[in-house]
A and B are shown apart, each in its own frame.
Chain A
């Protein structure tokens, strides 16, 4: 019973100290002599990104803020990968540039004033910036800090911006598919039965076909979706089946006990 625990404890006994592994989750080896130093060192470098923000922001007050914003992240990535492969002195440098830095990212949220284009906020740029930030964080997870909390909420981007950017292209695609299918099916039915478009719309069977066609176009957008739906159906009832399992053998087990 305790074997799981004792086994895991035995294998983890080397980890008696906290060690940091910056930007390399796949390499959990640590430097026993320097592990404590890592913590005191991190306090200092953390301030540097904030300092670097102000000079950058001063120069980026104009519309070329987008350009300067692009530069810091690629730099950070390259320094990071170099730093992780070498020893401790360079590791300090790694910590400096490992945080997400962007002149428009102020106090844990996007400064909408910096996204202005022709007098109104450029929501597309906000969405792009947030996507970039999340992508960055996925590959370089950062510690969540109380001093610099992230308070960005995607709902500040208005609903029509989302629709214009994401829904409309997809809607165009799907409507196109539905229209093509509809036209072809109408032609086919007409040539087979002689019933024209208007009369087809009055027919229940044709209306059902239309419903199926529209539904299919909406739900099945990629080939993989067919399998996804089959699995989804099974998934919704799986948990229920696990709970009912004990009732299934109520009759069989009691008759066995006799």
Chain B
């Protein structure tokens, strides 16, 4: 990372005689075609003010981006439509997020150190034995986390605006500003907001799965899963079981291509499931999930029902001009586990860092090439993680036999260690080759056995 930074600054100094011109000089076309463009060298210096960046959406992605931008000396505007939004979300954050984003430990409601995977035939496997005492999965309330990140951004100098983003005017000239139209709710109590406009140089779209910024730049659509969740308040003795344990249910009854879950929250559990291919049957899947967890949530009362789309893959276009998408708006949710909070915050931060560097702390105008650096870095750093999870989903969520094999594999200590290491620290760790070979053989064995049983099952009652 430091070498990239060095390159752009070096570029500035080397060609400095020709750079201090802020007229709209057409850039040489050759720069555009090159991948690793050192755009800051030829971008005009802004006169009299800092670069203005708007971050649309105040979730983890928006909050992290706004904080990094504000720290970098950029005039930041964070537009969020509902400051106390209680997002329907699993709420699980990996350990590395606490360190990387300096999260205070009191916003973590629970530390999950045990997980139970339950196969279609109810074989239950406990995972988490390999976790060290300081390792855990943090369960947070989204409203608490989002609020904390936004406040930190505010403390660093970002302007937090309570408003609903409506649309954006794409500039016609090269360095003209983007005009954002939004309904401002600031200073109003209820009712319709006041239509306001804001001129900025760069826009970061962090407004989630139904992103309007993405629509404005024609980013294209993605396939998405529907995640449906019921928050259930269960009796205290049952809640004690979920003190530090989360459950994952797999099976065709629970979801044809995802999993059902019971995650503990602050004082209740969230029971939910999701699907991409059979969205119409989501209620049926939810009933099945509740049935599978029935004994453990007996006597519970549903206090809230929520649903939300989860992107399955990135949008075809994550960047256009000086508008970049981050987080769910870009589609950075992993397959297999459906994890999005960490990647949202990290992508927000990465994008903001690219803007800070490309603009030399807000002194120069950025252009698309600077923002592309964020995409490049992101793809390079996290592509292995995404691909591995995609492969896991394709192999193990295919059918009931595959899920049975999956749960059987999870009983293995090596698998648990690898899984948790890669989940908690977000790096694909290469394990020992001998263990990998053993694991491969065991996986194939499990898959073969489960499929053989499935063939027997098909012969019965046919």
Are A150 and B123 closer than 8 Å at their CB atoms? Answer: yes
Say whether B152 faces chain A, with CB atoms less than 8 Å apart.
no
Distance of A18 Cα from B411 Cα, bound (Å): 32
Are B123 and A153 closer than 8 Å at their CB atoms? Answer: yes
Are B308 and A4 closer than 8 Å at their CB atoms? Answer: yes
**Interface stretch of the complex, out of A80-88, A177-185, A196-204, A242-250:** A242-250
The contact of B296 among A131, A134, A146, A235, by CB within 8 Å, is A146
| Residues of the B chain whose Cβ atoms lie less than 8 Å from the Cβ of A9 | 305-307
**Interface stretch of the complex, out of B47-55, B114-122, B179-187:** B114-122
Distance of A15 Cα from B302 Cα, bound (Å): 8
| Residues of the A chain whose Cβ atoms lie less than 8 Å from the Cβ of B222 | 242
Distance of A63 Cα from B394 Cα, bound (Å): 43
Distance of A135 Cα from B400 Cα, bound (Å): 11
Are A243 and B81 closer than 8 Å at their CB atoms? Answer: no
| Residues of the B chain whose Cβ atoms lie less than 8 Å from the Cβ of A130 | 453
Are A5 and B252 closer than 8 Å at their CB atoms? Answer: no
Distance of A147 Cα from B298 Cα, bound (Å): 14
**Beyond known contacts A154-B408, A239-B390, A249-B317: 11 more, CB 8 A cutoff:** A5-B306, A9-B306, A12-B283, A17-B302, A141-B292, A142-B292, A144-B292, A146-B295, A154-B449, A245-B220, A246-B319
A253 touching B291 in the complex, CB below 8 Å, given contacts A1-B81, A1-B208: no
**Interface stretch of the complex, out of A20-28, A112-120, A209-217:** A20-28
A28 touching B228 in the complex, CB below 8 Å, given contacts A141-B253, A144-B295, A243-B314: no
Are A16 and B298 closer than 8 Å at their CB atoms? Answer: no
| Residues of the B chain whose Cβ atoms lie less than 8 Å from the Cβ of A5 | 88, 306-308
Report the interface size class on chain A: 35 or more
The contact of B288 among A39, A141, A251, by CB within 8 Å, is A141
A153 touching B411 in the complex, CB below 8 Å, given contacts A143-B293, A245-B317: yes
Residues of chain A from 1 to 44 with CB closer than 8 A to chain B in the complex: 1, 4-5, 8-9, 12-13, 15-18, 20-21, 25-26, 28, 39, 42-43
| Residues of the B chain whose Cβ atoms lie less than 8 Å from the Cβ of A71 | none
Say whether B448 faces chain A, with CB atoms less than 8 Å apart.
yes
Expressed in whole angstroms, the minimum distance between the Cβ of B210 and any Cβ of chain A is 5
| Residues of the B chain whose Cβ atoms lie less than 8 Å from the Cβ of A250 | 35, 372
| Residues of the A chain whose Cβ atoms lie less than 8 Å from the Cβ of B251 | 141
The 8 A CB mask of B284-311 against A (1 = contact, 0 = none) is 1001101111111111111001111100
| Residues of the A chain whose Cβ atoms lie less than 8 Å from the Cβ of B298 | 39, 42-43
Distance of A247 Cα from B299 Cα, bound (Å): 52
Residue of B nearest to A152 (CB): B123
Are B284 and A155 closer than 8 Å at their CB atoms? Answer: no
| Residues of the B chain whose Cβ atoms lie less than 8 Å from the Cβ of A149 | 124
| Residues of the B chain whose Cβ atoms lie less than 8 Å from the Cβ of A166 | 448, 452, 455
The 8 A CB mask of A119-149 against B (1 = contact, 0 = none) is 0000000011011111101100111111101
Expressed in whole angstroms, the minimum distance between the Cβ of B123 and any Cβ of chain A is 5
Are A147 and B295 closer than 8 Å at their CB atoms? Answer: yes
Distance of A46 Cα from B174 Cα, bound (Å): 72
| Residues of the B chain whose Cβ atoms lie less than 8 Å from the Cβ of A16 | 302
List chain B positions with a Cβ less than 8 A from chain A. Answer: 26, 29, 32-33, 35, 81, 88, 118, 120-124, 174, 207-208, 210, 212, 220, 222, 228, 230, 232, 241, 249, 251-253, 283-284, 287-288, 290-302, 305-309, 313-321, 335, 368-369, 372, 375, 379, 383, 386-387, 390, 394, 400, 404, 408, 411, 445-446, 448-450, 452-457, 459-461
The contact of A4 among B210, B212, B296, B375, by CB within 8 Å, is B210
| Residues of the B chain whose Cβ atoms lie less than 8 Å from the Cβ of A243 | 313-314, 379, 383, 386
Are A137 and B120 closer than 8 Å at their CB atoms? Answer: yes
| Residues of the B chain whose Cβ atoms lie less than 8 Å from the Cβ of A144 | 118, 122, 124, 249, 292-293, 295-296
Distance of A155 Cα from B448 Cα, bound (Å): 11
Distance of A151 Cα from B116 Cα, bound (Å): 12
Expressed in whole angstroms, the minimum distance between the Cβ of B264 and any Cβ of chain A is 15
| Residues of the B chain whose Cβ atoms lie less than 8 Å from the Cβ of A151 | 123-124
Are A134 and B295 closer than 8 Å at their CB atoms? Answer: no
Are B316 and A155 closer than 8 Å at their CB atoms? Answer: no
The contact of B302 among A18, A145, A153, by CB within 8 Å, is A18
Expressed in whole angstroms, the minimum distance between the Cβ of A12 and any Cβ of chain B is 5
Distance of A236 Cα from B320 Cα, bound (Å): 28
The contact of B453 among A8, A131, A239, A255, by CB within 8 Å, is A131
Residue of B nearest to A43 (CB): B298
A12 touching B305 in the complex, CB below 8 Å, given contacts A131-B457, A144-B292: yes
Distance of A254 Cα from B321 Cα, bound (Å): 7
Say whether A229 faces chain B, with CB atoms less than 8 Å apart.
no
Residue of A nearest to B296 (CB): A146
Are A137 and B457 closer than 8 Å at their CB atoms? Answer: no
Residue of B nearest to A139 (CB): B461
Distance of A134 Cα from B452 Cα, bound (Å): 12
Are B306 and A155 closer than 8 Å at their CB atoms? Answer: no
| Residues of the B chain whose Cβ atoms lie less than 8 Å from the Cβ of A146 | 241, 295-296
Say whether A227 faces chain B, with CB atoms less than 8 Å apart.
no
Are A245 and B316 closer than 8 Å at their CB atoms? Answer: yes
| Residues of the A chain whose Cβ atoms lie less than 8 Å from the Cβ of B404 | 134, 154
Say whether A257 faces chain B, with CB atoms less than 8 Å apart.
yes
Distance of A90 Cα from B133 Cα, bound (Å): 50
A155 touching B318 in the complex, CB below 8 Å, given contacts A25-B288, A138-B252: no
| Residues of the B chain whose Cβ atoms lie less than 8 Å from the Cβ of A46 | 295
